[in-house]
Amino acid sequence: MFATVACSSSEEPGEGSKKVEVFTWWADGGEKAGLDGLVGVFKTDCAGFEFLNGAVAGGAGSNAKQVLASRLQQNDPPDTFQAHAGAELSDYINDDQLEDLSAQYTEWGLTNAFPKGLIDNLTVDGKIYSVPANIHRANVLWSNKTVLAKAGITKDATTLDGFFADLDKLKASGVAAPLALGKDWTQQMLFEALLISKLGPEKFNGLWNGTTSWTGADITDAITTYKRLLTYTNKDRDTFDWTDAEKLLMDGKAAYQLMGDWEAADLDAKGFKDYGWSVFPGNGNTFQWLADSFVLPKGAKNADGTKCWLKTVGSATGQAAFNQKKGSIPARTDVGTDGFPAYQQAAMADWKTATQVPSCPHGSACAQTWQGAVGSAQGKFSSDGDVAALQKALASAAAEFGPKK
Ligand code: GAL
């Protein structure tokens, strides 16, 4: 059979193409700035290839992951895509969608460049399937300094009680919804930060490895407290992406937002200087981590170009250029702090001493099926506030998608 292939746009990569289609959800602001930093190094180090931007906008991959799933199903993978280290990456590995990169790790000297724990999160059955670009921190509370000052708040709260007291002060000063919030996955993040405060890191870890029950009274208490926290947030949250909530903070309509540290890069990219940060109240020195990594999908049209991209991602120069603009810190342990904004310098220091816990909406703790089930349960709770129903849904999601006992 002679198939006629419609001549597609000159943007589309093809057989023997020099183009490397890099699929991410980093389309704007600080996320795009980070990607641009990496592309700058790629252009120098991989001059024979051309970067093709396959970004699909939407925080945490809310749109990109669906587009990617359908492309993988139709056997039309991009040359490389962004995948979170941990359970989320295992989804693609278990579905046999990724090439093993163990030989490249040896060839490029990557094996000892990353922390062992991170390598373990990228490895299945002794094979390693992706190159990490960064470490992000999820449990950070961002603030508008002027709004805090107007309410007489001069110190960051370190406990949940202190935080509620500050939120009340803000309300009294005229800020109706002091805690800016967005839709499902951003609500998952806020709830997880609160769970860390309530349970402590060890029990929080147990929620994902199966040693902590989702049906206990401590979870009921956490959901009840979370319900109270929602009363300080904007009512239109379910229609907001994280950047819409961030705008409330920038405009002084809110004082706080719980968000990963891509927010530092985004506020910088948008020229907003009046921001502060602290670890979410009650989280102590817990560092809720996640890592973006890049893969070589099976059937990629330009495997050689992808390998050059991956080599750039894993290089010290690539990691410095990317992370300085992305708000994250290098996954490599040999990149110095020079050239990094103040926030990341502090995060680099914290990473060395903190207790680490993973994140479900950002894949380090949960597979995508689990993420989806929790996200919709949170969304439902946002409108009905039914504590028992949320707890039941979270327990069912863990039983269905979590580790089997
Ligand atoms: C995370 C991702 C970050 C950042 C964030 C917001 O899932 O790991 O790099 O892009 O989403 O979109």
Torsion-angle region of residue 335: left (phi > 0), alpha (psi -120 to 50) or beta? beta
The whole-angstrom separation of Cα 251 and Cα 257 is: 13
pLDDT of residue 5: 34
Mutate to test the pocket of ligand 1, among 263, 292, 344, 364 (most ligand atoms within 8 A of CB): 292
β pairing state of 140-144 and 256-259:
antiparallel
3-state class (DSSP) for residue 327: coil
Give residue 317 CA to ligand 1 midpoint distance, Å.
Answer: 21
- Give 99 Cα–ligand 1 centroid separation in angstroms: 23
Contact 240, 234 (CB under 8 A): yes
Contact 185 CB / ligand 1 (< 6 Å): no
**Does the structure show a pLDDT above 80 at 16?**
no
Residue nearest to atom 2 of ligand 1 (CA): 60
∠ at Cα 109 (108, 110), nearest 5°? 95
Q: Closest ligand 1 atom to the C-alpha of 362?
A: 7
Answer yes or no: is pLDDT of 25 > 70: yes
The answer, yes or no, to whether residue 4 has pLDDT greater than 60, is no
Q: Is the CB of 266 under 6 A from ligand 1?
A: no
* Confidence check: pLDDT of 242 > 60: yes
Pocket test for ligand 1, best of 36, 142, 262 (most atoms within 8 A of CB): 262
Specify the 3-state DSSP secondary structure of 80. strand
pLDDT at 13 over 80: no
pLDDT of residue 102: 97
Q: Is residue 1 pLDDT above 50, yes or no?
A: no
Could you give the strand order of the β-sheet that contains 286-290, starting from the edge strand earlier in sequence? 136-137, 286-290, 355-358
CA distances (Å), 154 to each of 108, 146, 147, in order?
49, 10, 11
- Whose alpha carbon is nearest atom 5 of ligand 1? 60
Residue 285 is classified by DSSP as: T
Query: What is the distance in A from the centroid of ligand 1 to the CA of 356?
Result: 18
**Least confident segment among 13-17, 169-173, 264-268, 280-284:** 13-17
**Distance, CA 292 to ligand 1 centroid (Å)?**
8
**Is residue 60 in contact with ligand 1, taking CB distance under 6 Å?**
yes
**Which amino acid is located at 394 in the chain?**
L
* Average of per-residue pLDDT values in the chain: 95
Q: What is the pLDDT of residue 15?
A: 52
pLDDT of 6 > 60? The answer is no
In the structure, what pLDDT confidence band is assigned to residue 17 with cuts at 50, 70 and 90?
confident
As a whole number of angstroms, the distance between CA 144 and CA 146 comes to 6
pLDDT score, position 9 = 38
pLDDT (tens digit per residue) in 356-370: 999 999 999 999 999
User: What do you get for the CA distance between the two ends of the chain, in Å?
Assistant: 51
Tell me what pLDDT residue 404 has.
Answer: 82
Q: Rounded to whole angstroms, how far apart are CA atoms 302 and 52? A: 12
CA 24 to chain centroid: 12
User: For atom 9 of ligand 1, which residue has the closest CA?
Assistant: 292
The residue ranges of DSSP E strands in 260-351, in sequence order, are 275-279, 286-290, 292-295
| Digit-coded pLDDT (tens) for 369-402 | 999 999 999 999 999 999 999 999 999 999 999 9
